[in-house]
Structure 1
Amino acid sequence: MFNPTAFPEPTRVPVNGVELEVFEAGRRNVGEPIVLCHGWPEHAFSWRHQVPALAAAGYHVIVPNQRGYGNSSRPTEVTDYDIEHLSGDLVALLDHYGYADATFVGHDWGAHVVWGLTLLHPNRVNKVINLSLPYLERGDVPWIEFMEGVLGGDFYFVHFNRQPGVADAVFEENTSQFLRNMYRKNVPATEPQPGMALINLARAETPLGEPIMSDGELAVFVSAFESSGFTSSINWYRNVDRNWRLLADVNPIIQQPTLMVYGDRDAVARSENLAEFVPNVEVVTLDCGHWIQQEKPEETTQAIVKWLEQQGTD
């Protein structure tokens, strides 16, 4: 398994009124930046398997803990975690390193940020690689309102917004157990239980499925969230409808070359009309669940590096 001590040492980079904890590799490859954006409840460390290979392939690899995570700043205002702030951090990170643009890679919430960044600052993104979460069509109804109507008040996006602080407290009481239960693969299908699924997961004493990482790797995530708590990262969810409004007037079409990587057992729904909004997209599907780059590290890395090589020869 991966040795946690092999991950690069972080630096703290001032950006956009906050400081981000940033891990770097391949500094010798200045001029070829690639920025890796984690999801929830994750950490820059979730990209540990991809970092060495991307550096070896000639990229300057930049992996921030985004605001609210790890040792990065954790502002107290909920609105400090909207898409303007999150994408603004990434733009400022490019400015810090002196880059006009970069390739951006996102998983889960990181993918949502990369989609939003590409819409709001298209000239700063040259290629997009997103895992799990496809482009989300804006639609006519604010996203949380839409989810509440379709999925109900206990769906975690809705619950985080309608009952602020409730889930945060449960996760913080059960941090190690919650993350242990969350980072699993080959989880058997079970009947939906009443209540909020993630709260139930945090309280479950026996995990289902198989672990996707070693105890040493899991300890990196547990330590980070025991230090930071969960509220700042959950505040990203509390801006979903605000983001819907902030994206009202942007051109919704993403023209950049894009790689979309799905896990065929991921609970996140695929997009049925991805190519309408992302016309230059190529889709790859891997045999895994949600934690794509950690469940299938070699296959994920291979898919990314191969696609990037093809872009260079087109």
Structure 2
Amino acid sequence: MRSGPLVCRNPRSTPPRCHRPDGQAPLAHTGKGVRPMIERKTFETARHRTAYLEAGPADGPLMIFVHGWPEAPFVWIRQIEYFSEQGWRCIAPWMRGYGASSVPSDVAAYSNRETVADLVELHDSLGGAPAVWIGHDWGSPVVWALAAHYPERCRGVASASIPYIARGFALPSLVPLVDRDIYPVDTFPVGQWDYWLAFREHFTPVARAMEMDPAGILRLVFQPSPSLPEKRGPAFSATSRQRGGLFGGVELAHIPGDNLLLDGAYVEEMAHDFAANGFSGPIAWYLNDDANIEYAREAVDFARLSMPILFVHGGRDEVCETVHSQLAEPMREDCSDLTEVVIDAGHQLALEDPKGTNRAIAEWLAERNL
């Protein structure tokens, strides 16, 4: 672990602030998966059903949290608790393919066009007032796409881990940004994104393998991130096809569950949902590159974002490494009001350092009068 704060220099955006983890204990769990002040609700239209969490005053400004893969709204629970107490009406949906939301069988149903439409319908059901949208992992590309197509729905946009890629969050857009000092093209043709091809080339076998032990998969996902070596090397994801999938070769039964970033009862509920729904839907999010690129071309204002933007880097995120690589450069070109913050955490930074994440969001909200 680095002894000092991480620094990310960006002359085209607000200089990043840096927070270090405070060692906050894992999330406490009560009731049926959520704390009493957080309600579970469902919204349904002819095309889709969205289950979601809601907290805060019904007349408060909207803040909508969007989870990633393979997750649930619980990854935002500390942010929901904090900002609902600050007067925000906090909403966090289960995205399609997850939990009690719709689980379509068609791979094409998991394109950004469809997932953005889900959020638009949900947003309309909540009154449609401009919201602060916050995404993580695959939730980020959906939030970015919504902002690019419906800027009038956005007071501001925040993202953890995944920067804005105006051409679409897809392999053809990501591979040119791979750090070839770490991922030589002859050895790692698509760099750290090799797992994407594993999902594409072995869709059903990988899904079935993950369904053998959903709880083990989640224990692995929610492990605290390790300290990084002084010399950066290839991420584990870069050899996914050799190992038969992103988690191939991992003895899931040996993954400890006593120090998870997310409380065990939440993990248990998520495992139950994956056992019921399977992993095909969530993996299908990775199989819509062409459709997502086409949808990105339809963005308004040449896909440039002018609303206030916050991007939170995970300083120890190996796969979505944005501090040293070129991955965040397109975002800096296409966002005119960008603030960047680096947190000394891994991919699950909102869980690893909830106070630092909350502070980064709160300071940005105050600075931009949101």
Q: Give 5+ residue unaligned stretches, structure 2.
A: 1-25, 179-184, 323-327
Which residue of structure 1 lines up, in the alignment, with residue 264 of structure 2?
Answer: 215
TM-score by length of 2: 0.77
Is residue 281 of structure 1 aligned with residue 338 of structure 2? Answer: yes
Which residue of structure 1 lines up, in the alignment, with residue 12 of structure 2?
Answer: none
**Does the CA contact (< 8 Å) of 2:165 and 2:330 recur in 1?**
no
**Does the CA contact (< 8 Å) of 1:142 and 1:241 recur in 2?**
no
Aligned pairs for 1:3-22 within 5 A = 3-5=28-30, 6-7=34-35, 8-15=38-45, 17-22=47-52
CA 154–269 in structure 1, closer or farther in 2 if over 3 Å, else same: closer
Tell me the alpha carbon deviations over residues 231-261 of structure 1, each in whole angstroms, 9 at most, x when there is no partner. Answer: 1111111113310122124222111100100
Q: Distance in 2 between matches of 1:108 and 1:16?
A: 28
TM-score by length of 1: 0.90
Tell me the alpha carbon deviations over residues 114-146 of structure 1, each in whole angstroms, 9 at most, x when there is no partner. Answer: 011111212212200100001124289844887
Which residue of structure 2 lines up, in the alignment, with residue 238 of structure 1?
Answer: 287
Q: Distance in 2 between matches of 1:291 and 1:154?
A: 18
Quick one: which amino acid aligns to residue 10 of structure 1? Answer: R
Quick one: which amino acid aligns to residue 178 of structure 1? Answer: I
Tell me the alpha carbon deviations over residues 12-37 of structure 1, each in whole angstroms, 9 at most, x when there is no partner. Answer: 10146111101100134x15011100
Q: Distance in 2 between matches of 1:80 and 1:273?
A: 27
Is residue 2 of structure 1 aligned with residue 27 of structure 2? Answer: yes
Is residue 263 of structure 1 aligned with residue 345 of structure 2? Answer: no
Quick one: which amino acid aligns to residue 269 of structure 1? Answer: E
**Does the CA contact (< 8 Å) of 1:177 and 1:202 recur in 2?**
no
* Paired residue secondary structure (1:155): helix
Which residue of structure 1 lines up, in the alignment, with residue 153 of structure 2?
Answer: 124
Q: Distance in 1 between matches of 2:356 and 2:191?
A: 36
Tell me the alpha carbon deviations over residues 82-135 of structure 1, each in whole angstroms, 9 at most, x when there is no partner. Answer: 111111111111111112321100001001110111112122122001000011
Which residue of structure 2 lines up, in the alignment, with residue 247 of structure 1?
Answer: 296
* Paired residue secondary structure (2:189): helix
Which residue of structure 1 lines up, in the alignment, with residue 181 of structure 2?
Answer: none
Q: Distance in 1 between matches of 2:60 and 2:46?
A: 22
Q: Aligned-pair distance for 1:183?
A: 1.3
Which residue of structure 2 lines up, in the alignment, with residue 101 of structure 1?
Answer: 130
Which residue of structure 2 lines up, in the alignment, with residue 70 of structure 1?
Answer: 99
Q: Distance in 2 between matches of 1:141 and 1:98?
A: 35
Q: Distance in 2 between matches of 1:276 and 1:16?
A: 39
Quick one: which amino acid aligns to residue 355 of structure 2? Answer: E
CA 82–167 in structure 1, closer or farther in 2 if over 3 Å, else same: same
Q: Distance in 2 between matches of 1:154 and 1:124?
A: 31
**Does the CA contact (< 8 Å) of 1:37 and 1:66 recur in 2?**
yes
Is residue 182 of structure 1 aligned with residue 231 of structure 2? Answer: no
Quick one: which amino acid aligns to residue 113 of structure 2? Answer: E
**Does the CA contact (< 8 Å) of 1:144 and 1:241 recur in 2?**
no
Quick one: which amino acid aligns to residue 248 of structure 1? Answer: R
Is residue 155 of structure 1 aligned with residue 207 of structure 2? Answer: no
Q: Distance in 2 between matches of 1:239 and 1:34?
A: 27
Which residue of structure 1 lines up, in the alignment, with residue 365 of structure 2?
Answer: 308
* Paired residue secondary structure (1:290): coil
Q: Aligned-pair distance for 1:175?
A: 1.0
CA 141–167 in structure 1, closer or farther in 2 if over 3 Å, else same: closer
CA 185–242 in structure 1, closer or farther in 2 if over 3 Å, else same: same
**Does the CA contact (< 8 Å) of 2:198 and 2:246 recur in 1?**
no
RMSD: 2.7
CA 64–16 in structure 1, closer or farther in 2 if over 3 Å, else same: farther
Stretch of structure 1 that moved more, 149-158 or 105-114? 149-158
Q: Distance in 1 between matches of 2:269 and 2:117?
A: 27
Q: Give 5+ residue unaligned stretches, structure 1.
A: none
CA 95–214 in structure 1, closer or farther in 2 if over 3 Å, else same: closer
Q: Distance in 2 between matches of 1:201 and 1:295?
A: 26
Higher relative contact order (CA 8 A, sep 6+): 2
CA 120–204 in structure 1, closer or farther in 2 if over 3 Å, else same: same
* Paired residue secondary structure (1:136): coil
Which residue of structure 2 lines up, in the alignment, with residue 34 of structure 1?
Answer: 63
CA 202–39 in structure 1, closer or farther in 2 if over 3 Å, else same: farther
Tell me the alpha carbon deviations over residues 244-281 of structure 1, each in whole angstroms, 9 at most, x when there is no partner. Answer: 12212422211110010011001203213432111211
Which residue of structure 1 lines up, in the alignment, with residue 210 of structure 2?
Answer: 171
Stretch of structure 1 that moved more, 146-155 or 166-175? 146-155
CA 238–203 in structure 1, closer or farther in 2 if over 3 Å, else same: farther
Stretch of structure 1 that moved more, 2-11 or 238-247? 2-11
Aligned length in residues: 312
Identical residues among aligned pairs (%): 28
Stretch of structure 1 that moved more, 201-210 or 98-107? 201-210
